[in-house]
Homo-oligomer: A and B are copies of this chain.
Amino acid sequence: MPRIVVEVMPKPEILDPQGKAVNGALPRLGFHGISQVRQGKRFELTVPGEVTEEMLAQVREAATTLLSNPVIEDVVRVEVEES
């Protein structure tokens, strides 16, 4: 069944405490050479049947209303993946 992948990241100017925590933990665990970490969300929406243009338009709208908060987050990817 095809899946629509939607990805959401905090806007660059928004503080991201989770990403900061990961960034702080990396060198303590022996991982070096990363200067910044940002943490966002990945949604996988399963579609039973075909992904029509109408369905994609619907998902794009849901991405900016339900799946993200446009005040603090950007939708960085909406893509169909066959599985």
Contact = CB atoms under 8 A, between A and B. Distances in A.
Number of copies of this chain that the complex holds: 2
Contact of A47 (B33, B42, B62, B67): B33
Contact of A40 (B44, B48, B59): B44
B43 A39 contact: yes
A14 interface: no
A13 B37 CA distance: 29
A14 B31 CA distance: 29
A45 interface: yes
A34 B47 contact: yes
Interface of A: 1, 7-9, 19, 22, 25-26, 29, 31-49, 55, 58-59, 61-62, 65-67, 76
